Amino acid sequence: MATTELHAPGAARKSRPGKNGKPVTVGRIALYATLTVVSLLMVVPFVWMVLTSLKTPVEIASQDAGLLPEHWEFGNYLDALKAAPFATYARNSFIIAFSHTLINVVVASMAGYALARIRFRGSEVIFYLFIAALMIPTYTKVLPEFLIVRFMPLAGGNDLFGQGGSGWLDSWWALIVPGAVTPFAVFLFRQFYLDLPVELEEAARLDGLGEFRIYARIMTPQVKPALTTVALLTFESSWNNFLWPLLVTRSDSLRVIQVGLSVFKTENGPQWHFLMAGTTLATLPMVILFLIGQRYFVQGFATAGLK
Amino acid sequence: MQLNRRSLLAAIGAGTAAAALGGCGTGTSTAGSAEGPAEGEITLLTPIYEGADGKTLLEKEILGGFRKKYPDVKVNVDYTTYAQLNEKITTGLAGGLLPDVLMMGVGWIPPFAAKKAIAALPEKFASAHDYEKRVLEPSRYDGKLYALPVVLDTRIVVYRKDHFAEAGIKKTPANWAELRAVAKQLTKNGRTGFDPFSIELRQCWETFLFANGGQLFSADGKKVLFTDARGVEALQFFKDLIADGSAVYAKKTDLGAPTNVQTGKSSMMMTSSALWTQVGQQTPDLLKDDKLGAFVLANRRPAMLQGGTLVTQSASSKHPAAARALVEYLATPESILGAARQRGSVPGLKDLSDSSYVKENKFVGLSLRSMGDACSEGGTAAWMEIREKIKPTLEPAIVGNQSAKDAIAELGRLAEAAIGRM
Amino acid sequence: MGATSVLKARPAPPSSPAGNPVAKKRAGRVPTGPGRRRQRAGMVMVAPALLHASLWIGLPVVASVVLAFTKYDVLTAPQFVGLDNFRDMMDDAVFRKSIVNTVVYTFFTVPFGMMLGLLVALALHTGLKARGIFRTAVFLPQVTATVAIALVWLWIYNPGNGLLNTLLSFLGIDGPAWLSSTSWAMPSVILVGIWQGIGMKMLIYLAALQNLPKELYEAASVDGASKVRQFFSITLPLLKPATFFVLITSMISAFQSFDQIYILTDGGPANSTTMMTYEIYKSAFREFRVGYACAQSLVLFVLLMGFTLVNRRIMGGTRGHN
């Protein structure tokens, strides 16, 4: 029962206008039940995270403590926030994540569009290169990338040959530029642009629109879900980035939220209550962002239906 | 064949990367003299003094005092975590920007000193404070002093006094035969007598190797010595405990989680001196009721593994006099007592035995009293590589069917290959 | 030939009952009459991303390839050693083990994760109430830093009082020591991998589903095709670009999974969960053998390339049966 429901996007769409139009069927109940179970499985670790963030270290360590905290220690949150300048860290993370998202959406969608819709010399090869670029592990890239940042010519006291100073190290450039465009996003956009009907493009071309306008005005509005997806994923991975910001910065004023959270993972093991409180707070903006972002998802969905 | 800057340029054909890679080996280019007046702007890389408390301790108290003494030195602090310390040091070295003063773990000094990445300190630092001779051993390479200890962590055996009393055991085991018998006796009702595995297997085996009278490497660090019977016996002892049922590898606890002696699931365990602080936070009743005791592992000799954080100075510092002054200052009794208190570590100076911190923390007190039995890992320039091989190579003997002899022999082969590559 | 056209992942024209004019038109996608201006516009549009990737990925790759033939410990300048690193790798039993582990991990996480991701996306694509909450729940693992979430899993898998074994004990089952058992550690890690990856796969499928033209489904319904039939002959073929994307990116990220291993098992017990990226990390940053790590990376890269080509073939294979 559930399976037939699962495979019926068309039918579901028809049912959308009438709010309560769909009668409650066995299949629907089964679908809700399955989804509820799946969602619970996904959420359990977070529930534990939040509950732990409200316990005392003694209670966390206790063998026979219940799942719920005995006393709800909301003070953990205040104490955790006091452990490091989290306001600065959060602001920095936000600036970096926002810049990454903006740059990635614009630059990668342009590239994705060109690779999907325009056949030019070398386009095939370039596409393969982007896929290949995806395959390089972080720990292989990180040292050479660090060296490029450090020996960046004419920056941070460096001469034309990158010697003498410290390049982009400990600057916003190092935090923002290297991770600004991802091959992942280029690849994703390309796959979405591939899927659009050719008529749109042809009609626009007959109207005398230039290629850039066709990309910006005609085609890109059609891939709103992809824009949202890339934006969400870019923001999220940038917000959660830890290693790179730690490596290229030295000043506390340029450090990011994940580096701040690492304060609670001491050599002698994590300070669970603070770590979980801090992580909960750091996750919250992402959850809110997703809740907002998915509204645009639905919007893209609705406008596509009108056309 | 040595790759020089120009040949790499040709190979890569891109200016930036060539400059980058070429810069790798140029760490020693602009080092100044350490004898002049201490002045200039220097950077300190530290994995300790974490959090707002640590920051206050370091920047207000310790560096506040330092500034008064050396008003012409400005110190920038680069905080990192232990887990990412290697990445910070690796990238710093490759970029020719190693911080002027940096903190490292025990065992790291020979590899860095052998490659001349860190600078030797004047010998008078070794006698400036009341160091137990062994405490400075990990700071030395080729007879010269390269670092000073800031905080130490030791590996000792902690036991439940109440379990011992219940079983009528009056004294702590003085050798492995007794240890094995006591462990067996204490094993009952789902409780294991001994948990050696909740510390890193590498450090655990090393402690047993040293207690068995064994050694890791020859004095020059060129020969592997742990492959003899003493090394094999140390590993075999774990297998014997497992066969007796008095130790279970799968029941080890994770770092930071309440340990098996805290929960009462084991009567004895190998642990770090920092456990006292952890118990105080997680299960303070155990301290109040005086239920925890500690002793130093012994077989042919007593042995306490000594790890910790050392402070050293980059060989490429542009302000070596300032860097040296900071190294010296970070290792003064006042500085290290604060650092030790913040993290429950051992301040490695006999002068501090009378401090209230050492008196209150019994594990730290025992460690400081037993410094004569301290042994350290490392001792070879190839240590960075070998240390990573120990756990993965020995583990199959413990969780699998491999014999202790084969596992040790395999580790010996890997270690020799690593030394051969130096 | 067939293989390359699949990489372009043009949706295959669905056969009847969906074989209607709309579908046929969608197939002839790339417009004819190239025009030089268009070509130039294409190049200009791809240039910023390409330049960025050339500098921040291309250059590091070139450097890594060069370093793979050197001995480089960061402390002294790189020294050319020919094929020594590759010879050392032949003797490195742990690295061989890590290759096997990586392949096993990928083999289990990718297909199961994709299947679950697609199913959840399909379920959430229907006009359910509260689908926003479900979506968020499924996506939640993706938005939290792996490091923190892996710590939570550490607690779930704790053999003593962890959640999993507590639940099993209600059923009268004495659960194993998940992460310290050589036979259970890998499945435990795989489970975390699947759990964490579903959100992303779902999101991409969801985005792709929203781009599907509903006319096809209407026409198919008129033709009397069952829902299952519609799924296999319309939805699945039209999802091919998305599926190809999800497959390739999931495979790559499975090959590169690191944080889980780092926190959960440290590669153990007895190397039963160590993976290639973890070995590369250890070689480069713990053992200071950067040259060797670059050689290992090269092997990883070649393997991944190989798997991608195989996948392209497989995707080509499924085309025929539609």
Query: Which sequence spans correspond to the domains of chain B?
Result: 30-153+307-375, 154-306+379-421
Per residue in C251-307, pLDDT (tens digit) is 999 999 888 898 889 887 989 999 999 999 999 999 999 999 999 999 999 999 999
Per residue in B3-12, pLDDT (tens digit) is 454 444 344 4
For C140, which of A22, A42, A261 is closest by C-beta distance?
A42
Interface test with B, best of A256, A266, A272 (most B CBs within 10 A): A266
Q: What average pLDDT does the structure give for chain B?
A: 89
Identify the closest residue of chain B to C54 by CA–CA distance: B14
8 Å CB contact of C160 and B263 = yes
For C74, which of B93, B263, B398 is closest by C-beta distance?
B93
Share of chain B above pLDDT 70, in %: 92
Whether the predicted pLDDT of A146 surpasses 90: yes
8 Å CB contact of A194 and C277 = no
Which phi and psi angles does A204 have, rounded to 5°? -65, -40
Collapsing DSSP states into helix, strand and coil, what is residue B178? Answer: helix
Which band of pLDDT confidence, cut at 50, 70 and 90, is reported for residue C75? confident
8 Å CB contact of C258 and A139 = yes
Between CA C55 and CA C68 the distance in angstroms is: 19
Q: Using alpha carbons, select from B357, B360, B337, B363 the residue that is nearest to residue B349.
A: B337
Which of chain A's residues have a Cβ under 8 Å away from the Cβ of C195?
Answer: 41-42
Q: Is B56 exposed, middle or buried (0-12, 13-18, 19+ CB in 10 A)?
A: middle
Which band of pLDDT confidence, cut at 50, 70 and 90, is reported for residue A23? low
Which of chain C's residues have a Cβ under 8 Å away from the Cβ of A129?
Answer: 50, 53, 58
Average pLDDT over residues B239-245: 95
Whether the predicted pLDDT of B165 surpasses 90: yes
**Contact A305/C at CB under 8 A:** yes
Collapsing DSSP states into helix, strand and coil, what is residue B144? Answer: strand
Average pLDDT over residues C14-21: 38
Whether domain B154-306+379-421 has CATH 3.10.20.30: no
What pLDDT score does A297 carry?
Answer: 65
Which band of pLDDT confidence, cut at 50, 70 and 90, is reported for residue C314? confident
For C63, which of B17, B385, B398 is closest by C-beta distance?
B17
Whether the predicted pLDDT of C54 surpasses 90: yes
Note whether ipTM > 0.95 here: no
What pLDDT score does C322 carry?
Answer: 28
Whether the predicted pLDDT of C14 surpasses 70: no
Lookup: tokens for A131? 């896929």
Average pLDDT over residues B79-98: 88
Which band of pLDDT confidence, cut at 50, 70 and 90, is reported for residue A57? confident
Between CA B359 and CA C19 the distance in angstroms is: 85
For A269, which of B24, B78, B257 is closest by C-beta distance?
B257
Identify the closest residue of chain C to A137 by CA–CA distance: C256
Between CA A87 and CA A97 the distance in angstroms is: 15
Which phi and psi angles does B102 have, rounded to 5°? -140, 160
What pLDDT score does A186 carry?
Answer: 96
Which band of pLDDT confidence, cut at 50, 70 and 90, is reported for residue B52? confident
Share of chain A above pLDDT 90, in %: 36
Between CA A5 and CA A24 the distance in angstroms is: 12
**Contact A164/B at CB under 8 A:** no
Identify the closest residue of chain C to B259 by CA–CA distance: C160
Which phi and psi angles does C172 have, rounded to 5°? 80, 15
For C30, which of A10, A117, A183 is closest by C-beta distance?
A117
**Contact B52/A at CB under 8 A:** yes
Closest approach of C182 to chain A, Cα-based (Å): 24
Tell me the CA distances in angstroms from B244 to B30, B91, B194, B263, C226, one per residue in order: 61, 47, 11, 22, 64
Q: Which CATH superfamily is domain A84-266 in?
A: MetI-like (1.10.3720.10)
**Count of B-C CB contacts under 8 Å:** 111
Closest approach of A214 to chain B, Cα-based (Å): 36
8 Å CB contact of A162 and B23 = yes
Whether the predicted pLDDT of B309 surpasses 80: yes
Identify the closest residue of chain C to B19 by CA–CA distance: C63
Per CATH, which fold does B30-153+307-375 belong to?
A: D-Maltodextrin-Binding Protein; domain 2 (3.40.190)
DSSP structural state of residue B221: S
3-state secondary structure chain A: CHHHHHCCHHHHHHHCCCCCCCCCCHHHHHHHHHHHHHHHHHHHHHHHHHHHHCCCHHHHHCCCCCCCCCCCCCHHHHHHHHCCCHHHHHHHHHHHHHHHHHHHHHHHHHHHHHHHHCCCCCHHHHHHHHHHHHCCCHHHHHHHHHHHHHCCCCCCCCCCCCCCCCCCCCCHHHHHCCCCCCHHHHHHHHHHHHCCCHHHHHHHHHCCCCHHHHHHHHHHHHHHHHHHHHHHHHHHHHHCCCHHHHHHCCCHHHCCHHHHHHHHEECCEECHHHHHHHHHHHHHHHHHHHHHHHHHHHHHHHHHHHC
Which band of pLDDT confidence, cut at 50, 70 and 90, is reported for residue C152? confident
Whether the predicted pLDDT of B245 surpasses 70: yes
Which of chain A's residues have a Cβ under 8 Å away from the Cβ of C206?
Answer: 225, 297
For B384, which of C66, C268, C286 is closest by C-beta distance?
C286
CB C12 within 8 A of CB C319: yes
Which band of pLDDT confidence, cut at 50, 70 and 90, is reported for residue A298? low
Lookup: tokens for B410? 């395999």
Lookup: tokens for C234? 């319309």
Lookup: tokens for C306? 């190989």
Domain ranges across chain A: 84-266
CB B273 within 8 A of CB B344: yes
**Contact B111/C at CB under 8 A:** yes
Average pLDDT over residues B198-206: 95
Q: What average pLDDT does the structure give for chain A?
A: 84
Which of chain A's residues have a Cβ under 8 Å away from the Cβ of C252?
Answer: 134-135
Whether the predicted pLDDT of C26 surpasses 90: no
Per residue in B25-40, pLDDT (tens digit) is 343 444 556 777 889 9
Per residue in B268-299, pLDDT (tens digit) is 999 999 999 999 988 999 999 999 999 999 99
Collapsing DSSP states into helix, strand and coil, what is residue B15? Answer: helix
8 Å CB contact of B12 and C62 = yes
Tell me the CA distances in angstroms from B397 to A39, B75, C270, C292, one per residue in order: 41, 48, 8, 27
Tell me the CA distances in angstroms from A232 to A226, A294, B120, C142, one per residue in order: 10, 9, 51, 10
Q: Is C42 exposed, middle or buried (0-12, 13-18, 19+ CB in 10 A)?
A: buried
8 Å CB contact of A229 and C301 = no
What pLDDT score does A166 carry?
Answer: 85
**Contact B247/C at CB under 8 A:** no
8 Å CB contact of A242 and C145 = yes
8 Å CB contact of C11 and A123 = no
For B384, which of C154, C158, C287 is closest by C-beta distance?
C287
CB B89 within 8 A of CB B316: no
Per residue in C219-254, pLDDT (tens digit) is 888 888 888 888 888 888 888 888 988 999 999 999
What pLDDT score does B118 carry?
Answer: 94
Identify the closest residue of chain C to B87 by CA–CA distance: C285
Domains and CATH numbers, chain C: 100-287 (1.10.3720.10)
What pLDDT score does C19 carry?
Answer: 37
DSSP structural state of residue B195: E
Average pLDDT over residues C45-60: 95
8 Å CB contact of A7 and C231 = yes
What pLDDT score does C16 carry?
Answer: 37
Give the list of residues 6+ apart from residue A121 with CB closer than 8 angstroms, or none.
Answer: C39, C43
CB B201 within 8 A of CB B252: no
Whether the predicted pLDDT of C29 surpasses 90: no
8 Å CB contact of C274 and B392 = yes
Per residue in A260-292, pLDDT (tens digit) is 888 888 777 788 889 899 999 999 998 888 888
8 Å CB contact of A148 and C203 = no
Which of chain C's residues have a Cβ under 8 Å away from the Cβ of B96?
Answer: none
8 Å CB contact of C74 and B3 = no
8 Å CB contact of C132 and A4 = no
Which of chain A's residues have a Cβ under 8 Å away from the Cβ of C120?
Answer: 35, 38
First to last CA, chain B: 15
Give the list of residues 6+ apart from residue B90 with CB closer than 8 angstroms, or none.
Answer: A143, C74, C284, C285, C288, C290
**Count of A-C CB contacts under 8 Å:** 342
Whether the predicted pLDDT of A3 surpasses 50: no
Whether the predicted pLDDT of B99 surpasses 90: yes
Which band of pLDDT confidence, cut at 50, 70 and 90, is reported for residue B370? very high
